[in-house]
Structure 1
Amino acid sequence: MLVHDGVDFMLLAPVWPAIALFAAIPAVYGGQAHVADRSLAPAGRPDRPNKWILLVPRIALGLVFAVSLADLVGDVTQLA
């Protein structure tokens, strides 16, 4: 049973990090799976992408996670 006045709904006060992670995690996973599949293809394939391209989505997701975590820590210290 959900209680709308509970702590869970107060911790999600800025809704945009929750929405961003909800959309970003599957999108980044799908993109990385596609790029990893293409980069692990046999060497004779001409459309092999650069392996450094996997680093860009990981950094972006790491930054979104860090901002969300910092905001969550701020909310928890405010409630305590």
Structure 2
Amino acid sequence: MQLLVAGGAMYVEVFNRGVIPLAYSIKKKNKAGETNTYLDGIYLLFTYFTKPESISALETTLISDDNVIRSSSFKIRKRKY
């Protein structure tokens, strides 16, 4: 969240869905080279407004973090009626 605010994000909301079992086990190596198998994960949903340039820095940080198994970013456009 600090990275979002430093990147210029506004109206940051965090929704913690809690610990949920994964649909399948995920094996991932950490920076030390150890392999871990994950059976469940903590699901978090971040909703925020920011500049498009700051998304790449956030995704790079999430990919390099050993505590993050998977992440995805979505751009949501406001509908004009």
Coarse TM-score class (shorter-chain normalised) = under 0.3
Q: Which has the higher contact order (CA 8 A, sep 6+)?
A: 1
- Structure with more of its chain in helix, by fraction: 1
Higher-Rg structure is 1
Q: TM-score, normalised by structure 1?
A: 0.26
Q: TM-score, normalised by structure 2?
A: 0.26
